[in-house]
């Protein structure tokens, strides 16, 4: 697999690089090597490397900052994927791209399926949706994995923030009216590799993925809220060094609050639950329940 990873220093890019480590011809690029705001440079990088598969883990992910930085968000999340897809089509590479539950408005009662109408509440969501649409309009053989609440071994995320705050503050109040599942970046990397491997093993990667192209939901199974997620993280941590005896807030003490009590610039969907049936049917990839991966993650952080 001659693979190219974009966004190597992000949570998912880092996980992808670990997952594909040791493969000959692996090209992993961070912002310093390739600025996705420069669409011409994106195309040139693909055309000179001529990979078989590109994993685009780079994105403008500062959800609140995007509200006042619309152009930068659209450059990275919409125009770069468009240029990337065009270049992949030219060199015959397949493309694995990522999107977000924030393309939805959160109003559905059940789990969102891929064909549900989108309605982003934020500039970030709009820019990621524009990226999805650019790929749909391109002849490139691409798959878009829509995921939610990503946390990785490398990089900042909600779980690490909760662990830090629980050692600093006497109380933790966390939003309880947004529903979704935290998804481990390592799990997404595993699914991404599986899809690429299946495509390449078919002998006609472009044709094979072309028949299966489009959006697939890919988030952990189960259901939770930010409050329950925080409780899970702290409940595991409170029995482990280096946190045992140091946490001022224990898992059971996390207090639920409504989103209205935690004002932020960008609105978030209340229901982010994704139905991942299409991913299982198309690629045979099933994501496990969120809780086991979060517990293992906290134990790994403790061991590190």
Ligand X SMILES: NC(=O)c1ccc[n+]([C@@H]2O[C@H](COP(=O)([O-])OP(=O)(O)OC[C@H]3O[C@@H](n4cnc5c(N)ncnc54)[C@H](OP(=O)(O)O)[C@@H]3O)[C@@H](O)[C@H]2O)c1
7 binds ligand X (CB under 6 A): yes
**229: number of Cβ within 10 Å:** 24
Closest approach of ligand X to the CB of residue 192, in Å: 10
Distance of CA 18 to the CA centre of its chain: 16
**Secondary structure element (H or E) that encloses residue 292, with its range:** helix 290-303
Contact (Cβ atoms closer than 8 angstroms) between residue 182 and residue 158: yes
The residue range among 52-60, 134-142, 231-239, 284-292 that interacts with ligand X, by the rule CB under 6 A, is 52-60
Closest approach of ligand X to the CB of residue 40, in Å: 13
Nearest CB to ligand X, comparing residues 2 and 154? 154
Using CB under 6 A, which of 9, 225, 235, 253 touches ligand X?
9
Nearest CB to ligand X, comparing residues 150 and 162? 150
Using CB under 6 A, which of 1, 26, 27, 31 touches ligand X?
31
12 binds ligand X (CB under 6 A): yes
Alpha carbons 144 and 77: distance in angstroms, whole number = 13
Structure tokens at 286: 């099933």
Closest approach of ligand X to the CB of residue 57, in Å: 5
Structure tokens at 89: 């089509």
What 3-state class would DSSP assign to 95?
strand
Using CB under 6 A, which of 26, 119, 155, 212 touches ligand X?
155
178 binds ligand X (CB under 6 A): no
Closest by Cα among 119, 126, 38 to 75: 38
66 binds ligand X (CB under 6 A): no
Q: At what angle do helices 158-168 and 226-237 cross, to 10 degrees?
A: 60
225 binds ligand X (CB under 6 A): no
Helix spans in 33-101 (H): 39-49, 70-74, 80-91
Alpha carbons 7 and 59: distance in angstroms, whole number = 7
Contact (Cβ atoms closer than 8 angstroms) between residue 269 and residue 121: yes
Nearest CB to ligand X, comparing residues 135 and 199? 135
Site string for ligand X, 265-304 (x = CB under 6 A): ----------------------------------------
Alpha carbons 28 and 89: distance in angstroms, whole number = 20
Alpha carbons 132 and 217: distance in angstroms, whole number = 13
Closest approach of ligand X to the CB of residue 9, in Å: 4
175 binds ligand X (CB under 6 A): no
Interactions with ligand X, residue window 69-128 (CB under 6 A): 76, 98, 100, 128
- Which residues carry out catalysis? 124
Within 13 Å and on the Cβ side, how many CA atoms surround 43?
Answer: 11
Nearest CB to ligand X, comparing residues 218 and 237? 218
190 binds ligand X (CB under 6 A): no
Interface residues with ligand X (CB under 6 A) are 7, 9-13, 31, 35-37, 57-61, 76, 98, 100, 128, 147-150, 155, 185
């Amino acid at each position: 697999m001659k693979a190219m990873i974009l966004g190597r220093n992000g949570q998912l890019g880092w996980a992808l690089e670990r997952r594909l480590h040791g493969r000959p011809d692996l090209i992993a690029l961070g912002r310093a090597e390739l600025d996705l705001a420069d669409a011409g440079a994106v195309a040139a990088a693909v055309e000179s490397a001529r990979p078989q598969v590109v994993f685009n883990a780079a994105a403008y992910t500062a959800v609140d900052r995007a509200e006042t930085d619309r152009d930068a968000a659209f450059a990275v999340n919409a125009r770069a994927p468009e240029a990337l897809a065009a270049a992949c089509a030219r060199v015959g590479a397949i493309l694995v791209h990522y999107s977000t539950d924030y393309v939805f408005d959160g109003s559905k009662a059940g789990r969102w399926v891929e064909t549900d109408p989108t309605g982003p509440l934020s500039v970030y969501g709009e820019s990621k949706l524009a990226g999805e649409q650019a790929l749909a309009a391109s002849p490139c053989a691409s798959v878009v994995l829509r995921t939610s609440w990503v946390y990785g071994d490398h990089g900042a995320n909600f779980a690490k923030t909760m662990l830090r705050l629980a050692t600093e503050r006497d109380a933790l109040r966390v939003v309880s009216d947004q529903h979704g599942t935290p998804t481990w970046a390592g799990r997404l990397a595993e699914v991404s590799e599986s899809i690429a491997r299946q495509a390449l093993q078919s002998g006609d990667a472009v044709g094979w993925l072309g028949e299966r192209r489009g959006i697939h939901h890919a988030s952990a199974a189960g259901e939770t809220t930010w409050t329950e997620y925080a409780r899970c993280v702290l409940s595991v941590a409170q029995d482990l060094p280096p946190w045992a005896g140091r946490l001022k807030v224990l898992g059971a003490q996390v207090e639920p609050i409504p989103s209205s009590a935690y004002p932020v610039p960008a609105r978030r969907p209340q229901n982010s639950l994704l139905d991942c049936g299409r991913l299982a049917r198309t690629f045979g990839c099933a994501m496990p329940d969120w809780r086991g991966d979060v517990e293992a993650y906290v134990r790994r952080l403790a061991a590190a």
